Amino acid sequence: MQRLQRIFVRMAIIVAGIIVMFIASSSLFGMDVTKMSIFKREVRHIGFLKVHKAASTTIENMMIRFSQSRKLTAVLPKDGHHLSVKNAHPKSWKFFPIPTNHTFDILFNHVIFSAVGFRTYLPSDSVYIASVREPFQQMISAFYYIRRVFPQAYIKNISGPNPHRVYLRDPKRYDEDMTSFTHNGMARDFGYPPALNDNMALFQEYMERLGTFFDLVIVMEKFDESIILMRRLLRWSIKDIVYIKANVSKLNSSIEITDQDRQLHRQWAPLDYALYDFFLKKLENQISTQFSDFTREVKYFKQVLKRVEEFCQQKTIIQPLIIDVSEFSDQFQITDLDCVVMTTKESTLMNNLKEDRRKELIQYGEDAIYIKKKRESIIWTPALQLDV
């Protein structure tokens, strides 16, 4: 009997040691272990901050596919795909109705970040993710996307073969709107008030709090590495993160980029450079804590992506693509429908989501009281905008 007791004690010590090691490695990775369950297969409560022109539409497509396959209740904007445009005040978010007895599970649309808003409308165990991009490339992408798609006069009316250069030489002449997408646009999406753009010291403090709030910030220049980290953090499958690049801007080959252009932009948007450097360093630290199989998984993922892209480019698809079992994934298949969803425009996907929501509202009824109570529970002042 005593021998059996000693064996049980040793087993208990071993199990406890494994749990401690797991928690320690999770802390090194930058995850909040209070949000994690060792025995939970996957994370389903997620707040994704969709930063303009930072691979966010590609990530959003993953979120949409995941939410649909698990029948999650997403935070949907009443109009278009923006919950808010001009300020971070969470009481100004415009929601599409929610079915009776449902609560929000996941958020992936454009919104000016507000920690109060994310924490109010999403469950307490939510994991928070965002993305960033090298600032000059992000600005160039936003600049020409806005020129082509949106009637933003301050950009659209600039003439010449390289209008971005005209803009950068005298940006204050053109960029007077505090909701600008081309002046510290990423910092703005992360909730930092444009009125405080000149206060770098305050922004440094704000970034530190952002770094604590967000469990992972994807860096576009290390996209596949970031997505594998996301997969591990969320405990999703490889199929859940397979993607085909979305909303990629094809800039005219005549556009010239010079060192002076980059220098002028760095002077014009120092907050975005600080933000990018901060989260790039954090991502690199997270990657450095991974085991040796991380590099193998990234390589494997790239191989899968290549096969999926080649498969989806076929004019006629008869049989699904079978991805065999590996050390990182069970066997799964990609169908023609998967290809369609991965390449469907964001606006179409949003319309489809809202149509599905309308059917749910007919079936369950509208729970306007839930959203109203959430909104009324918010205590928000401009000062709280920086309270991450």
Residue 7 inside a domain? The answer is yes
Residue 283 inside a domain? The answer is yes
Classify the C-alpha dihedral 191-196-200-204 as positive or negative: negative
* Residues 159 and 219 both lie in one domain: yes
* Residues 26 and 46 both lie in one domain: no
Count of C-beta atoms within a 10 Å radius of residue 99: 18
* Residues 127 and 3 both lie in one domain: no
Residue 306 inside a domain? The answer is no
**The domain spanning residue 191 has which CATH number?**
3.40.50
Cα gap 305→335, rounded to integer Å:
14
Phi, psi angle pair for 281, to nearest 5°: -65, -40
Cα gap 148→328, rounded to integer Å:
41
Hey, is 259 helix, strand or coil? helix
Cα gap 248→268, rounded to integer Å:
25
Residue 98 inside a domain? The answer is yes
Query: Residue 39 contacts by C-beta under 8 Å, 6 or more apart in sequence?
Result: none
* Residues 360 and 255 both lie in one domain: yes
What pTM does this model have?
0.88
Evaluate whether 240 touches 62 at the Cβ level (below 8 Å): yes
Residue 341 inside a domain? The answer is no
The total number of structural domains that make up the chain = 2
Q: Where are the alpha helices (DSSP H) in 182-269?
A: 185-189, 200-213, 223-234, 238-241, 259-268
Element (H, E) at 342: helix 336-343
Domain that holds residue 22: 1-30
* Residues 105 and 160 both lie in one domain: yes
pLDDT tens for each residue of the chain, 388 residues long: 555 555 555 665 555 555 545 444 444 444 444 444 344 589 999 999 999 999 999 999 999 999 999 999 999 999 888 898 777 789 889 999 999 999 999 999 999 999 999 999 999 999 999 999 999 999 999 998 888 877 666 788 888 889 999 999 999 888 866 568 899 999 999 999 998 999 999 999 999 999 999 999 999 999 999 999 999 999 999 999 999 987 666 655 567 899 999 999 999 999 999 999 999 999 999 999 999 999 999 999 999 999 999 999 998 999 999 999 999 999 999 999 999 999 999 999 999 999 999 999 999 999 999 999 999 999 888 777 788 8
* Residues 13 and 162 both lie in one domain: no
Burial class (CB within 10 angstroms; exposed 0-12, middle 13-18, buried 19+) of 271: buried
The 3 state secondary structure assigned to 25-36 is: HHHHHCCCHHHC
Strands (E), 157-316: 216-219
* Residues 68 and 169 both lie in one domain: yes
* Residues 45 and 171 both lie in one domain: yes
* Residues 44 and 26 both lie in one domain: no
Q: Which of 11, 268, 34, 64 is nearest to 3 (CA)?
A: 11
* Residues 224 and 354 both lie in one domain: yes
* Residues 3 and 119 both lie in one domain: no
* Residues 184 and 75 both lie in one domain: yes
- Helices 135-149 and 259-268 cross at an angle (nearest 10°) of 90
Q: How many residues make up the chain in this entry? A: 388
